[in-house]
């Protein structure tokens, strides 16, 4: 019964692993993997001396950092806020609304942002008609990191609360009652009961985020790269695409991809070690 899934995974996941050999070649589409000339570490040497690649790496790390600082706390705060709403009806309604954008495609989400915040968008129209001047964030490289992070918040923060809501529901209410009886106020209970109750989930999400530090989203940048310019919007994934597939330099793109995968594996491993050091399970147990 597992056969169809296994076949698909072997063909589209394991066979490409061998295709990574192209990263050590001068791949020629006409000759194929078997006949292409081997190039050793040549492609990696090219990468390391390519300022465009370093630019992409720098952008990726920067965007990852901004997302960690600005995005990560939002779902936690939202979950705490929502959890404090007593009416089941209101809670359900808010949940259905905030989950929704998670199911939008990036094309749709960015179109919506463009219509609202772009040069001809609703906000700028309002500013113009009140003689305040325009403020085109969609094409401004300086604010690009904030723009993409706010897009991620708009699209994914609502969905992100689910896991925290589940953890909140699992906290024993007797603890709150006992603490209240001992005179602990609202904020002390939050600090001493709620946050420790969320600790393992927060650590798990943090491990995932750190392990994926080199992945900041692909389609989101692919769509917006031309509007802001590649200096700011090029990330490692779009780099592989533009310098691998779009220009036909497959080996070069594959080398960039392999570089990213290896570092990512190390990051996941490292982040998980860190989680174990804090006495948490992290992504996998020992």
- Rule CB under 8 A: which of 219-238 touch another protein? 219, 222-223, 237
Figure out which of the listed residues 58, 186, 188, 192 binds another protein, where binding follows CB under 8 A: 186
Residues facing residue 25 across a β-bridge: 38
CB closer to another protein, 64 vs 242: 242
Figure out which of the listed residues 30, 51, 181, 277 binds another protein, where binding follows CB under 8 A: 181
Query: Which region, judged by CB under 8 A, interacts with another protein, from 37-45, 48-56, 58-66, 121-129?
Result: 121-129
DSSP string for residues in 152-166 = HHHHHHHHHHHHHHH
Query: How near is the Cβ of 270 to another protein at its closest, in Å?
Result: 14
Query: What's the token pair of residue 277?
Result: 């050091």
Site string for another protein, 242-271 (x = CB under 8 A): --xx----x--xx--xx-xx---x--x---
CA distances from 12 to 7, 108, 244, 256 (A): 8, 28, 19, 19
Query: Which region, judged by CB under 8 A, interacts with another protein, from 39-47, 65-73, 117-125, 141-149?
Result: 117-125
Contact 283, 203 (CB under 8 A): no
Residue 115 CA, chain-centre distance (Å), reads 23
Figure out which of the listed residues 69, 107, 132, 266 binds another protein, where binding follows CB under 8 A: 107
Query: What's the token pair of residue 9?
Result: 């995974």
Query: Which region, judged by CB under 8 A, interacts with another protein, from 47-55, 57-65, 120-128, 139-147?
Result: 120-128
83-96 exposure pattern, b = at least 16 Cβ within 10 A, e = fewer: beeeeeeeeeebbe
Please state, in angstroms and rounded to a whole number, the distance separating the CA atoms of residues 52 and 64. Answer: 18
Taking CA 177 as the corner, what is the angle to CA 173 and CA 181, rounded to the nearest 5 degrees?
A: 165
Which helix (H) or strand (E) element contains residue 122?
helix 122-129
CB closer to another protein, 66 vs 175: 175
Number of residues that bind another protein (CB under 8 A): 97
Site string for another protein, 55-94 (x = CB under 8 A): -----------------------x--xx-xxxxx-----x
User: Does 112 sit near another protein (CB under 8 A)?
Assistant: yes
User: Does 162 sit near another protein (CB under 8 A)?
Assistant: yes
């Amino acid at each position: 019964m597992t056969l169809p899934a296994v076949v698909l995974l072997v063909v589209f996941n394991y066979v490409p692993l061998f295709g990574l050999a192209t990263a050590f070649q001068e791949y020629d589409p006409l000759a194929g993997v078997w006949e292409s000339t081997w190039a050793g570490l040549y492609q990696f040497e090219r990468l390391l001396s390519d300022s465009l690649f370093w630019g992409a790496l720098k952008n990726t790390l920067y965007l990852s950092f901004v997302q960690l600082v600005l995005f990560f706390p939002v779902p936690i705060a939202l979950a705490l806020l929502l959890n404090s709403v007593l009416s089941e009806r209101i809670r359900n309604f808010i949940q259905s609304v905030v989950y929704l954008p998670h199911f939008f495609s990036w094309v749709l989400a960015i179109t919506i942002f463009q219509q609202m915040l772009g040069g001809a968008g609703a906000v700028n129209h309002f500013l113009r008609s009140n003689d305040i001047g325009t403020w085109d964030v969609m094409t401004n490289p300086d604010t690009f990191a904030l723009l993409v992070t706010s897009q991620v918040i708009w699209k994914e923060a609502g969905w992100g609360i689910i896991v925290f809501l589940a953890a909140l529901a699992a906290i024993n209410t007797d603890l709150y009652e006992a603490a209240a009886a001992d005179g602990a106020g609202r904020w002390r209970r939050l600090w001493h009961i709620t946050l420790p109750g969320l600790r393992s989930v927060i650590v798990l999400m943090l491990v995932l985020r750190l392990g994926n530090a080199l992945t900041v989203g692909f389609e989101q940048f692919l769509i917006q790269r031309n509007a802001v310019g590649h200096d700011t919007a090029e990330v490692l994934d779009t780099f592989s695409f533009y310098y691998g597939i779009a220009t036909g330099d497959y080996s070069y793109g594959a080398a960039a991809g392999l570089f990213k995968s290896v570092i990512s594996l190390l990051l996941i491993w490292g982040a998980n070690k860190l989680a174990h050091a804090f006495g948490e399970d992290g992504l996998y147990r020992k």
